[in-house]
Structure 1
Amino acid sequence: MADKQDFSDPNTNCFSNKYVTCYSDRLVIHQYYFPIGDKTIKYSDIHSCDLLSMKELGFLNSKTWGMGLSPIWWHADFHRHSREHYILLDTRSWPKIGVTMDDNDTPIVYKLIKEKSNPKN
């Protein structure tokens, strides 16, 4: 019988793909900084988390890596413009953070972030 994971341990990996790793207390966004570098965000620092349509954002407002014509910084995702949705994180600092990944993983990561960043709801 397999042991249950202890999700109260901050080093427990709750979910991971090539774009993000969700731990019990923080989110790590891979290839956030140019030319290489991850960004770590504590869930407690996330003021809001929204799941939005890429179609509504518009092509010029996103970028493969960095900032387009909107105040959103994007991690590296060379398939971003073919994604259906993105997660927008507001940590009350400029710019906001846009996160994309494989469409099947996006709702899972969104739900996890929402639960961890606002445990009262």
Structure 2
Amino acid sequence: MSGGSVGYRDRWIECGPDALRIRGYYFPWGTKTIPYASIRGVRRVRMGPLTGQARIWGTGNVRYWAGLDPKRLSKTQGIVLDTGKYVHPFITPDDPAAVEDIVRERSGAVDDGAA
């Protein structure tokens, strides 16, 4: 999970020293890199069958984009990131609490209840 300057890593998410990387964000396998300095808000959300859990990749709502995660069906929590753009990245790390803590610490982001 962690090693060296990487604060967190699973199959799809990596919290590096300066940026969050989301593998499989762009079709077919492109990585999105989000510098912590560009993250304004972070919000952990509960998922259900009709609220993101059944979406393996993409969007059902144009305001959110879910990076690829074939195991999302077995997860109950996700994280929405506010980067100041219309579309908010939606991620489902294996350990959402760890990722949320790292992103808040490195970005200075606040709880984004309006994301």
Could you state the TM-score of these two structures normalised by the residue count of structure 2? 0.82
Which one has the bigger helix percentage? 1
Confirm or deny that 1:39 pairs with 2:29.
no
Q: Gaps (5+ residues) in structure 1?
A: 6-11
Structure 1 vs Structure 2: percent identity of aligned residues?
30
Q: Distance in 1 between matches of 2:73 and 2:61?
A: 15
Deviations 1:16-57 (A, max 9, x none): 1111111111100111001110000000100100111113xx
Q: CA deviation at 1:14?
A: 1.8
Contact 1:60/1:68, CA 8 A, preserved across alignment? no
Structure with greater strand share of residues: 2
Runs of 4+ off more than 6 Å: none
Asked if 1:86 corresponds to 2:84, the answer is: no
The structure number with the bigger radius of gyration is 1
Q: What is the alpha-carbon distance in structure 2 between the residues aligned to residue 53 and residue 61 of structure 1?
A: 9
Distance in structure 2 (CA, Å) of the matches to 1:61 and 1:68: 8
Partner of 1:95: 87
Q: Over aligned residue pairs, what C-alpha RMSD do you find? A: 2.0
The structure whose RCO (Cα within 8 Å, separation 6+) is larger is 2
